[in-house]
Amino acid sequence: MTTKDVEMLVTGEKVLVHLNGFDQPIKSGGSLCTRFMGRCLKQQRFFPIEAKDCREVKMRSGVMLMQHIREKFSLPERENVDRVLFLILDDKYRARKYRVKCDLFKLVTKKLKEVEGVDLVEAQEIEYTEEEILEGLDLVEAPDNINIQQWNDYKKLLRSSHSKKLSELGKKARDEKLHFHTTGARSHARIRDDFMMKNNREPYPLEFFDIVYKSKDGAYVKDISKDFMDTASGEVNKRILSLEDTESLDTHKRSKIERDVVMELMGPDKNGRARFHGK
């Protein structure tokens, strides 16, 4: 099924969504559910473009969005299920808002060059600062699905010190990102579930790292990922060899050793996100 097929479901028809032990959507139904959330955010009633942050979106349209999702998908009535879905929604909202902003800035840049009468040869060399682009926002008309008041509020938001601060924090976070996954849109929860179905056990932390960050040709996107794996593998082997009884090493003990090493090298889990488990 596609997300468009989901919209066409009649009243009473729902897509079954499987959840794992952490209430994360898994399997094809879970993937369809999260993709459908992304589709919903393209609608203005679920995506108030002038909202300051995810909390405001949740307050203004979150309940309506969760209602709409539950009309289309069969999900358990548990508070933690909604909590996990809202965490996923936060990621999708930020990604959607970033794409909208990038597309808008490209359009403003094009308009500025048209106003200045820049020819095609010069256009490739000219680059505008963010301040110049923000000043040129008035050259662009409001999209068809956004009313004038929302459009003016959105432009005001982009020009605010709050928005500029968030933009700088976002750039800093992207620059500090060390490892780049190679598994496309599949969530960590789905990848973990697929592995467990095939192998009848949980993947070891370093085993999972390889699955997520190695490309099909067996190489890492960045050298720092390879360096991390070499260091972590060496430390794990050293700790295993130091055990008094290596024959008693089972999957649980090995996972514990690998997780301890990963936590020491990468730092502790973040609030709402566990290492290699996702939201």
Place of tokens 């969005």: 65
> How confident is the model at residue 235, as a pLDDT?
94
- Predicted local distance difference test score (pLDDT) of residue 70: 94
Q: Which pLDDT score, from 0 to 100, does residue 123 have?
A: 60
Q: For all residues of the chain together, what is the average pLDDT? A: 87
Predicted pLDDT at 34: 93
Q: Look at residue 204 and tell me whether its pLDDT is greater than 80.
A: yes
**pLDDT more than 90, % of the chain:** 36
Q: Could you give the CA distance from residue 35 to residue 186 in angstroms, rounded to a whole number?
A: 10
Q: In the 3-class helix/strand/coil scheme, how is 97-115 assigned residue by residue?
A: HHHHHHHHHHHHHHHHHHH
Does residue 92 contact residue 41 with C-beta atoms inside 8 Å?
A: yes
* 227 SS3 class: helix
Identify the weakest region by mean pLDDT among 119-133, 135-149, 215-229. 119-133
pLDDT at 121: 58
Q: CA-CA distances (angstroms) from residue 107 to 48, 116, 137?
A: 20, 14, 9
Give pLDDT tens digits for 82-99.
999 988 888 888 888 888
**Residues 164-181: what's their mean pLDDT?**
82
Percent of the chain with pLDDT over 70: 97
Element spanning 191, H or E: helix 188-199
Per-residue confidence (pLDDT) for residue 244, from 0 to 100? 78
Residue 124 is predicted with a pLDDT of 65
> For 205-224, b where at least 16 C-beta lie within 10 A, e where not — what string?
bbbbbebbbbeeeeebeeee
Q: Where are the beta strands (DSSP E) in 129-258?
A: none
Bridge-based pairing state of the strands 25-26 and 18-19: antiparallel
User: Do residues 257 and 239 make contact, with C-beta atoms less than 8 angstroms apart?
Assistant: yes
pLDDT by residue (tens digit) across 13-27? 999 999 999 999 999
**The amino acid at 241:** L
Distance CA 128, CA 150 (A): 25
Q: Is the model's pLDDT at 122 over the cut of 80?
A: no
Cβ burial of 185 (10 Å; 0-12, 13-18, 19+) is: exposed
pTM above 0.85, yes or no: no
Burial 76-106 (b: 16+ CB within 10 A, else e): eeeeebbebbbebbbbbbeebbeebeeebbe
113-133 mean pLDDT:
76
Instruction: Give every CB contact of residue 212 below 8 A, 6+ residues apart in sequence.
Output: 181, 182, 183, 188, 191, 276
